[in-house]
Amino acid sequence: MMGNLAAWKKGVIDGIPIGLGYLSVSFSFGIIAATAGLHIIEAVMMSATNFTSAGQFAGVTLIASSALLMEMALTQFIINSRYFLMSAALSQKMDPKTSMVHRIIMAFGITDEVFGVSVAVKGKLNPYYTYGVMSVALPGWTLGTFLGAYSGDLLPPSIVSALSIALYGMLLAVILPPAKGNNILSALIIISMVGSWLFSQVPYLQNISSGVKIILLTFIIAGIAAALFPVKGEARNG
pLDDT at position 126, please?
94
Cα gap 47→44, rounded to integer Å: 5
What are the pLDDT digits (tens) for 207-218? 876 667 777 787
Classify the C-alpha dihedral 208-218-120-175 as positive or negative.
Answer: negative
**Helix (H) or strand (E) segment spanning residue 121:** none
What is the pLDDT, as a whole number, of residue 84?
86
Separation CA 215–CA 206 (nearest Å): 15
Q: How many CB atoms lie within 10 A of CB 13?
A: 12
The Cα-based distances of 213 to 49, 133, 136, 173 in angstroms read: 25, 27, 29, 22
Q: In this predicted structure, what is the pLDDT of residue 218? A: 76
Tell me what the mean pLDDT of segment 110-132 comes to. 92
Residue type at 13 in one-letter notation: I
Is-above-0.85 flag for pTM? no
